[in-house]
Amino acid sequence: MMKKIGILGSGTWGTALANMLVKMGHNVTLWSKFEKDSILLKETHTHPNLPGSIISSDINFVTDISKACLDMDFVIFATPSIYIRETANVTKPFLNDKQVIITVSKGIEKDTLFTMSEILEDVLGSSFNVVALSGPTHAEEVAKGLPTLIVSSCKDKKIAKLVQEEVSNNVLRVYTNTDIKGVELCGALKNIIALAAGMSEGLGYGDNAKAAIITRGLAEITRIGLAMGCTEQTFSGLSGIGDIVVTATSTNSRNHNAGVLIGQGYSLKETLEKVGMVVEGINALEAAKELEKKYQVELPIIDVVYRIVKDDIPVTMAIPLLFGREKISEI
């Protein structure tokens, strides 16, 4: 059944989703904060960070945010995580609790330690149905129609199922999960592990080191997730191991690429300039440290990434710091 869908944010993921959903027959409106970006998409049918993809002319491109909210069945928040609260406040007058609110942003708010869905509920109210769409989903591949699996997560299973039904197609298979906190925690913290994997590659280390970082990084995310009351199976699923693998290994991953540059000796400022897009792993570091303190768990890989990025210790100190820890059992 055709839905009216508003997407807030014309970055790579928002644009890729708009392109896919409009081809499914949905009526899609894509909002951009910047008029020049909206005009570029509308006139050239290309996105500078989605090379090789043709953006459909059937998308409604707007810069008036109300037009992407009013009368929509689904409203998708696709802005960087640090702008979710601001965007929610701006859109609040144009939304109602009969709409399904979806977040595809991945992060944790520094001051509140809220996930993206929690921020939306905090601003909009608890009567709103909020769904997190998360998983191993590079925008570049979704825009090209390559096979992809994703998770629709909501505390209300019926709402998660509704989104599953309307978003699934012949190249996107959607699963449901009611553990929305666990799904969103994975989406935020895996970006930090991807930074670590990239740093390892930048330092010239091999596949052994990368596999170790992914495996032990997932153990850290699982540890904090269980302390927060999340469901253990979430971490072995698409939003857990699936997302960490794709983000920590692919050249499409801005977090992985940022880590490589830092490993090669570039400063944080130089790294961010070279990547040219938001690196969510950097934004998640402060919140991750606060969660570590609050729940009194050990996150050694995340700790080392924090010290490299925030305390400016040499990236070459990573191995001595991690290997010098007390010897323990894996289980």
- Asked if 119 and 85 touch (Cβ cutoff 8 Å), the reply is yes
Say yes or no to pLDDT of 53 above 80: yes
CATH topology of domain 181-323: N-(1-d-carboxylethyl)-l-norvaline Dehydrogenase; domain 2 (1.10.1040)
Question: Would you state the pLDDT for residue 1?
Answer: 79
The predicted-structure confidence for 205-239, as pLDDT tens digits, reads as follows: 999 999 999 999 999 999 999 999 999 999 999 99
- Is residue 256 within 8 A of residue 279, CB to CB? The reply is no
pLDDT band at 266 (very low <50, low <70, confident <90, very high): very high
Domain boundaries, the chain: 4-178, 181-323
**Rounded to whole angstroms, how far apart are CA atoms 167 and 286?**
33
With a pLDDT cut of 70, the percent of the chain lying above it is 100
pLDDT of residue 331: 77
**DSSP per-residue string spanning 299-330:** -HHHHHHHHHHHS---GGGHHHHHHTSPP---
Q: How confident is the model at residue 249 (pLDDT cuts 50, 70, 90)?
A: very high
List b or e across 73-87, with b for residues whose CB sees 16 or more CB atoms inside 10 angstroms: bbbbbbbbbebbbeb
Q: Which residues are catalytic?
A: 190
Give the mean pLDDT of the chain: 96
Instruction: Taking residues 11-21, report their average pLDDT.
Output: 96
pTM: 0.95
pLDDT tens per residue across span 119-148:
999 999 999 999 999 999 999 999 999 999
pLDDT of residue 300: 97
Chain segment 73-115, per-residue pLDDT in tens = 999 999 999 999 999 999 999 999 999 999 999 999 999 999 9
Please, what CATH class does the domain formed by 4-178 belong to?
alpha beta
